[in-house]
A and B are shown apart, each in its own frame.
Chain A
């Protein structure tokens, strides 16, 4: 074996060891979710979930609070995604298809707002939503989510809209289509991948959000899934934690997210990095 090949082999082994280390917590979640409580209680960990059980899942789902949290999460996320996409798409059209006074200010404002953390605004957001009686409601929390996600979505869609040459639309208009018709028939279909990617991004943000939900949804009946999941840990102060159930619950929350994330991640990184490399 040549030194170069030996080196490559050693590095590859290191890479696989690190991969196992990094994926271990995810494996441990799934593993623990299928192990009966009695065995999880032992001081010697069980490294393979065989023979497995689904009793942790049925236990976590037993009191019906999961379904209510799922319903709340779906309502909030759908509202946020639909309005975020609509608003961001219109704004992206404006800044990539028109030159107008105030354009740069708008772009700067979008970028600044994008960096403002909920952790620095939640007191005020709580006060605002409470003062109009919208705590524990889908609308209150959705408005904050839309505002939080619109900036990045505008920025992402701007790139996609700019990528469809305006000449194409104009050519179609020469061929007799109206401006709107040209847009709907030519540009819109070319934008579909961008809308999907942005939509999944907005979905992930709203679905996983914790801080704002914690503040704006104080009642148990209005919990979203992240708050529901937190409830398992919170209860650990007063009674022994059923880790099998906690891990089953975590698996239920994580799996759809992982699937969606895998669909969209290439676009998210490549967009960010191509911007960074160009600058």
Chain B
């Protein structure tokens, strides 16, 4: 480590990165904060000056039941999807520790393929799988005696629409969770586990009493990332809306902002909702960033 005092070299090295961050993120962020305090509608799109209106945009939004509905739906979607992803991901990671080498390899390759799928391609596949008339999911479900799923339109009601979105997000996110947790598990020594089982601990007790505390750092970071990612889910909802209905009942926060900005051209309100999303994200991220900083200091 060079400890030259007053050297200009490190600052020069930082110039390009700082410049691009200020341009691509800093300026938009500040513009957005300012715009969220302005009346910025259709008239301003055509060059009218944008008057400052204080927190009016926020007050109007807070009084708008539709916004709270969208916030509520987004939070519910985010928490449920992240929870299901964690349960399946951790389950698969534990499964990997208890199976033969071949079985583990097959499972890992399958998960990697799902993980590697570009999100837009994954969406086209799932929309095809859930297709009303010729989708293989309706076909298979329909074969179960007593189940009548022929031509069932998954995208026609908000509940099944979000269920489909959640299934897709879980499918795409589980591999990351499973690999991260498995990597954490391989660092828990076998002796610890064996000693615990000689003491007569059942599998369930062993997991909560011994394994979970030891991999707690991995578990908490992976859970946080899932929450953050699932809160800002946009591509999946947008593409399902392309395939089904784009009415407001099918919006989560991402598509809600998009519509405020594109269809209503109300940049003031769109910026205010964006700031809300950013605030929730930064609040959640803080724990993640703190733990990374501890790593940097170590």
Contacts and interface: CB of A to CB of B under 8 A. Distances in A.
B238 A214 contact: yes
B85 interface: no
Interface in B270-294: 270-271, 274-275, 277-278, 281-282, 285, 288-289, 291-294
A83 B19 CA distance: 12
B4 to A, nearest CB: 8
B35 A124 contact: yes
Contacts of A279: 217, 291-292, 294-295, 298
B184 A117 contact: no
B20 A146 contact: yes
Given A25-B171, A29-B121, A128-B31, A121 B25 contact: yes
B10 A16 contact: no
Given A19-B106, A44-B139, A90-B14, A98 B23 contact: no
A40 B134 contact: yes
A61 interface: no
B135 to A, nearest CB: 8
A217 to B, nearest CB: 14
B27 interface: yes
A122 interface: yes
B235 A90 contact: no
A150 B17 contact: yes
Contacts of A83: 20
A150 B115 contact: no
Contact of B289 (A14, A108, A208): A108
A38 interface: no
B128 A116 contact: no
B202 interface: no
A265 B115 contact: yes
A148 B21 CA distance: 8
Interface in A97-152: 97-100, 102-103, 106-113, 115-128, 143-144, 146-148, 150-151
Given A18-B92, A234-B242, A254-B117, A123 B2 contact: no
B164 to A, nearest CB: 13
A70 B217 CA distance: 41
Nearest to B175: A22
A250 to B, nearest CB: 4
Contacts of A100: 7, 10-11
B112 A265 contact: yes
B14 to A, nearest CB: 5
Interface string B21-34: 10111011101100
Q: Tell me the dominant secondary structure on chain A's binding face.
A: helix
Interface in A186-217: 207-208, 210-211, 214-215
B3 interface: yes
A120 B20 contact: no
Contacts of B104: 15
B267 interface: yes
A16 B116 CA distance: 19
A25 B171 CA distance: 10
Nearest to B95: A15
B210 interface: no
Given A15-B106, A210-B120, A116 B278 contact: yes
Contacts of A1: none
Contacts of B253: 119
A32 interface: yes
A262 B116 contact: yes
B109 interface: yes
Contacts of A270: 183
A3 interface: no
7 contacts: A8-B98, A15-B95, A94-B14, A115-B282, A146-B20, A247-B125, A253-B118
Interface of A: 7-9, 11-16, 18-20, 22-23, 25-26, 28-29, 32, 40-45, 83, 86-88, 90-91, 93-95, 97-100, 102-103, 106-113, 115-128, 143-144, 146-148, 150-151, 154-155, 158, 166, 207-208, 210-211, 214-215, 226, 229-230, 232-234, 236-237, 243, 246-247, 249-251, 253-254, 257-258, 261-262, 265, 269-270, 272-273, 275-279
Interface of B: 1-4, 7, 9-11, 13-14, 16-18, 20-21, 23-25, 27-29, 31-32, 35, 92, 95-96, 98-100, 102-104, 106-107, 109-129, 131, 133-134, 136, 139, 171, 174-176, 179-180, 183-184, 187, 215, 217-218, 221-222, 228, 232, 234-235, 238-239, 242-243, 253-254, 257-258, 260-261, 267, 270-271, 274-275, 277-278, 281-282, 285, 288-289, 291-296, 298
Given A15-B99, A91-B18, 11 more contacts: A15-B96, A29-B121, A45-B136, A99-B1, A108-B293, A154-B17, A166-B2, A226-B118, A273-B180, A275-B291, A276-B218
